[in-house]
Amino acid sequence: MELKLKIYNTFKRKKEVFKPIKKGEVSIYTCGPTVYDFAHIGNLRTYIFEDVLVRALKTLGFKVKRVLNITDVGHLTDDEDAGEDKVEKSAKKAKKTARQIAIYFEKQFMLDMTKLNIEKATFTPRASDFIPEMIKFIQKLEVKKYTYLTSDGVYFDSTRVPNYDQLAKIDIKGLEEGKRVTVNKEKKHKTDFALWKFSPKNSKRQMEWESPWSPSGRDKVKGFPGWHIECSVLAQKFLGDKFDIHCGGVDHISVHHTNEIAQSYALTKKIPAVYWFLNQWIFVLWF
């Protein structure tokens, strides 16, 4: 008798029998850590959750290819388009370089994964190693007219994508901008998001790169990628336009995963993953 695996697909909001795109093989992308501090148990729950899935798939005879990205640039303190880069903020506090901080906490994260007996991913790419690929991805979106320029970066026009809220199922009309994130008055729509951010005027970031874009009145301004672009780019590079399973936490549904789907769909006309296998929060009871 053939054994079947059922998983809860957050995208469909129901359990489904898992069927891989390619017989006998499974491709998985997992949102990895932002390496600015030690991982806490809530962070690590995502990877324990995924590890159980991976072991089950291997037990059923599947060959598993996994990508776990390392976010070492672009994740801002309010999880969207404003605030300070978490890695650079940590570096300033510790009086270290951003690179030193990122490498140190990446190593600590990997040690934690080993202690928890979590199997290693096939690929663990760092975001900062793929800036040219991110720029090319944004340029392709620009050609398709999904982007626009503001004084602080290149933004994605979320209204150009049909069913933008299909994963999060958020009430866009009732969304109060500024309640969850810092207000940006230059955004055309509440749900638009940054693909590329310009380095602030009269200041220099430690991690910044040249790009084809500059704001009005400023020439050859360096910048850095938005948080969401790395996952679309790295998933596409290592797994292709369409892969089997996307793992991560439910806290990323409303912003990160929704925007990741939007920018990937804009370029490929495909939802990047078939199954969205997202873990819930850890709840601590105090007595």
Please compute the mean of the pLDDT values over residues 8-14 and round it to a whole number. 94
Distance between CA atoms of 58 and 233, rounded to whole angstroms? 26
19: DSSP letter: -
Measured torsion, CA atoms of residues 272, 35, 252, 273, in degrees rounded to the nearest 10: 10
Confidence of residue 177 (pLDDT cuts 50, 70, 90): very low
Distance between CA atoms of 4 and 6, rounded to whole angstroms? 7
Confidence of residue 179 (pLDDT cuts 50, 70, 90): very low
pLDDT value of position 132? 98
Confidence of residue 146 (pLDDT cuts 50, 70, 90): very high
38: DSSP letter: -
Phi, psi dihedrals of residue 209, rounded to the nearest 5°: -140, 155
pLDDT, tens only, 78-116: 755 667 889 999 999 999 999 999 999 999 999 999 999
Q: What is the pTM of this model?
A: 0.92
Q: Tell me the CATH number for domain 24-279.
A: 3.40.50.620
116 residue type, one letter: L
Percentage of the chain beyond pLDDT 90 is: 77
Confidence of residue 201 (pLDDT cuts 50, 70, 90): confident
pLDDT at 170 over 70: no
Q: Within the chain, how many helices (H) and strands (E) appear?
A: 6, 10
pLDDT value of position 75? 83
Q: 282 and 45 in contact (C-beta within 8 Å)?
A: yes
pLDDT value of position 150? 95
Phi, psi dihedrals of residue 89, rounded to the nearest 5°: -65, -45
Confidence of residue 197 (pLDDT cuts 50, 70, 90): very high
Angle at 6 between CA 236 and CA 171, to 5 degrees: 65
22: DSSP letter: B
Q: 140 and 82 in contact (C-beta within 8 Å)?
A: no
Distance between CA atoms of 117 and 119, rounded to whole angstroms? 6
Phi, psi dihedrals of residue 171, rounded to the nearest 5°: -90, 90
pLDDT value of position 202? 78
Kindly report the number of other CB atoms within 10 A of residue 135's CB atom. Answer: 22
pLDDT value of position 84? 84
52: DSSP letter: H
pLDDT at 123 over 60: yes
pLDDT, tens only, 230-245: 999 999 999 999 999 9
Q: 82 and 151 in contact (C-beta within 8 Å)?
A: no
Kindly report the number of other CB atoms within 10 A of residue 206's CB atom. Answer: 17
CB-based burial, 53-80: b 16+ in 10 Å, e otherwise: bbeebeeeebebbbbbbbbbbbbbeebb
44: DSSP letter: H
pLDDT value of position 80? 59
pLDDT value of position 204? 78
pLDDT value of position 230? 97
Q: Mean pLDDT of all residues in the chain?
A: 91
Confidence of residue 180 (pLDDT cuts 50, 70, 90): very low
